[in-house]
Amino acid sequence: MLNDKKIIAALIKGDEKILAFVIRKYSGLLWKIAASILINAASAQEVEECVADVFIHLWQHPEKYNPDQGKISSWLAVLTRSKAIDRYRRITKIRELPIEEIAADSLGYMEWETVDEKKEKLLSCIGELDEKEKDVIIRRYYYEQKPAEIATALDIPKKQVENRLYRVKRKLRRLMEA
């Protein structure tokens, strides 16, 4: 019989059959948790992606589970709740504020004749950035990812993300003032 320690040991070794077993066993529970948080803000696809993110995290980082601190089902439930809350915040924030307003607010106050003029100028300036610069600014101010999350997603050091954000904001400020 498989206990939580054996499951994690197998996942650490990369056993895909055990991952499939875990997905079958816990997907219903995790779906209910994610859906209860995302029900009013997201589609079924968002719930599905949230649950998939949990299983991806388990597959990539099985060593983060400590069987001495509780059951794997409890750990997965807490992880699902956390990811669903993060997703809910991103979804509701995206609906409330477009990227132009988020990024413009981060660049500081500037006087403009109209809000539309400001948005148009900012979008134009963002369009002048290279792909790496656009990626980091969109991840930070549109998806509200923290520098550590961006670093993980881009597989670069957190300090490099922070430096890139600093340089890109300075560049955008110069472009906006020009």
The answer, as to whether pTM is greater than 0.85, is: no
Tokens standing for residue 104:
């413009």
Higher pLDDT, 147 or 43: 147
**Structure confidence at residue 1 as a pLDDT band (50, 70, 90):** confident
pLDDT, residue 93, reads 67
Tokens standing for residue 34:
């994610």
Spatial contact of 80 and 119, defined as CB atoms under 8 Å apart: no
Topology alike, domains 4-96 and 99-177: no
Tens digit of each residue's pLDDT (9 = 90 or more) over 134-145: 888 888 877 778
Q: Parse the chain into domains and list their residue ranges.
A: 4-96, 99-177
**Structure confidence at residue 109 as a pLDDT band (50, 70, 90):** very low
How far, in Å, CA of 122 to CA of 100, rounded? 7
For tokens 């340089």, the residue is 167
At 71 the three-state DSSP class reads: coil
Domain 99-177 has what CATH class? mainly alpha
Q: How far is CA 89 from the centre of its chain?
A: 10
Rounded mean pLDDT, 15-43:
89
Backbone angles phi, psi at 5, to 5 degrees: -65, -40
**Second CATH level (architecture) for the domain 4-96:** Orthogonal Bundle (1.10)
Mean pLDDT, the chain, rounded, equals: 83
